[in-house]
Amino acid sequence: YMGGQPERVDRGGERMDFTEAYSDRCSAVGLAAREGNIKLLKKLIRKGYSIDVSDNRGWMAIHEAAFQNTKKCLKFLIQAAPSANYIRSKTFEGSSPLHLSASRGNLECTAILLESGADPNEVTNDATTPLFLAVENEHTNVIKLLLQHGADVNGSHCWSEWNSLHQAAFQNYSEILKLLLDEGANKESVDDFGITPLFIAAQYGKLECLRILISYGANINCQAKDQATPLFIAAQEGNDKCVELLLAEGANPNLYCNEEEWQLPIHAAAQMGHSNILRMLIPVTDRVCGSAEGKVSPVYSAIYSGQEICLELLLKEGYSPDAQSCPVFGCKSPMYLAFQKGSEIILILLKYGIKILEIDLGLCLLHRRYNLFRHFLRKDCKLSCQLHLVEFSKCAVSAGRDYREWLPSLLLAGFNPVNLLFHDWIFSVSSDALNFLLEFTNWKRLPWNVEQVLSSRKATSMWMPCSYFEHIPSLSHLCRLEIRSLLTSVCLQSDQHIRQLPIPTCLQDFLLYLDVLKTYSISESWLKAGDVCEESTLPSCSNSEHKEEKK
């Protein structure tokens, strides 16, 4: 075989196909045998016509007779054979007359061939036996006959060690399966991948065959070479009834199904979105997988494939949204992975109380989820500390063009603006963004290295700092900075605390930078647009653009 197709050979300048019978390539004797014309066949042989001339497929007259079930012709050809080996003649694909007869379910011809000395265990070019072909085509009586004449019940197919028992399970031939088992077929036989017939039945949802194999004592916890179990493959393929049967018969749901020892049937069900199977597996699966280091919570599996129903089911049944870090998926938290999958997944995690981490703010910027960014700040998310500042800063640079969407909320929440005054930020953002950030600083008391970078930016671009940045800030501005520095970040993350201070409204407005926001066309009401409810879909990000001016 070449590329999965029968090999074509060049004969007489034409392309020949082993699967197609060319009438002009078949001998007269072969045509007579094909048509069952015993009188013509005898006449031709008496005239000296050869019986071993092959056609384009390598078929001789005996192959035609065996395939077409022309019994009289077959008997005559065997009697007229030039040698004892004629009955074992093979086509170009390695098929003997017995292979062709068994595959067609020609019981009488099969019996004639066997009684005449045909080998019941002869194999084709791809190691297929007559018994396998009879099983594949559901010819029960031919199977019985072959077994009576010594056919190996465990004979293989295609060099892969896939045998007749595998094939019977795959095609859900329950009666044939029983017959083979009763004749001594090895119920634990494995193919090249370490897969047993029971595994096949579980994989393809052949419930009756699965039940039979279990009743004959086949191992329900067998593992393929990649460590997968029948329960795992049934859960992966969504075969509910097979999963139910396997669990009822004692299949182990906590047997690891990969070499890294973290993957269980529950992961397969969650990842593939099989919620009914997931409901069966949750009560019997050890919860250690949801929290232990080195393991992977099935929460990750559901998020990875965007399986919202399965994710909510896991969380509802007690799996934590704050699962352990997951190097397997390259994620530090479930939220980290959720940002790659969409709004609904994020909403589900928020609904079940996921703890919002500092790194999540950076993820909001990286994925342009600005509404979510504001929501996280209002939910008392900790501001990036030195540990996460470098990573957050990179995300801030990537979202610099959309600064109006997120920077006001961040600064009003108490984030130290100096932490963004580094080279990449200063040189990548627009003039407006840079000026806006400096409004939240004492611009005459900046660190020396920051002043050097700002000077370089001014000298190499068309950035125009606000004119008052050349002077010492006003006393009112300095007082605003001082008062806000005395308030905790928790107080600053919501304007309600400042609105409750026993001071005039105008001073409250001043502490909330409403004068600055107005200058930069940012309304106070817009900043509050960070509330997210579980029933709503997070709006897509805004992509306001601000041109970078350069000399």
pLDDT, tens digit (0-9, with 9 covering 90-100), for 208-267: 999 999 999 999 999 999 999 999 999 999 999 999 999 999 999 999 999 999 999 999
Torsion of CA 389, 391, 392, 397, to 10 degrees: 120
Segments of 232-370 assigned E as strands = none
For 474, list phi and psi in degrees, rounded to 5.
-65, 160
**Residue of 534 and 81 predicted with greater confidence:** 81
Reply yes or no on whether the pLDDT at 545 is more than 60: no
Indicate the pairing of strand 156-157 with strand 162-163: antiparallel
Which among 132, 115, 40 has a CA at the least distance from the CA of 75?
115
Measured CA to CA in angstroms, residue 367 lies from 112, 328, 336, 378, 468 at distances of: 74, 21, 11, 19, 35
pLDDT tens per residue across span 302-324: 999 999 999 999 999 999 999 99
Domain ranges across the chain: 24-152, 404-527
Distance CA 154, CA 265 (A): 30
pLDDT tens per residue across span 399-444: 999 999 999 999 998 899 999 999 999 999 999 999 999 999 999 9
Q: What average pLDDT does this structure show over 324-344?
A: 90
Measured CA to CA in angstroms, residue 532 lies from 346, 348, 351 at distances of: 11, 11, 10
Single-letter amino acid code for the residue at 205? G
pLDDT at 535: 42
474: burial class by Cβ within 10 Å (0-12, 13-18, 19+)? exposed
SS3 399: coil
467: burial class by Cβ within 10 Å (0-12, 13-18, 19+)? exposed
- CATH fold for domain 24-152: 1.25.40
- Lowest mean pLDDT: which of 9-13, 205-209, 343-347? 9-13
Which among 483, 504, 507, 371 has a CA at the least distance from the CA of 515?
507
Q: At what angle do helices 107-115 and 97-104 cross, to 10 degrees?
A: 150
Distance CA 383, CA 413 (A): 8
How many helices and strands, by DSSP H and E, does the chain display?
A: 33, 4
Distance CA 507, CA 525 (A): 18
Distance CA 310, CA 307 (A): 6
pLDDT at 384: 61
Reply yes or no on whether the pLDDT at 43 is more than 60: yes
Q: What average pLDDT does this structure show over 527-551?
A: 44
Q: Residues 392, 384: contact at Cβ < 8 Å? A: yes
Measured CA to CA in angstroms, residue 391 lies from 225, 359, 366, 397 at distances of: 41, 8, 10, 10
Torsion of CA 248, 254, 257, 262, to 10 degrees: 150
pLDDT at 3: 32
For 331, list phi and psi in degrees, rounded to 5.
-125, 140
Give the 3-state secondary structure of 157-211.
ECCCCEEHHHHHHHCCCHHHHHHHHHCCCCCCCCCCCCCCHHHHHHHCCCHHHHH
Tokens of 242: 């097979």
Q: Residues 321, 294: contact at Cβ < 8 Å? A: no
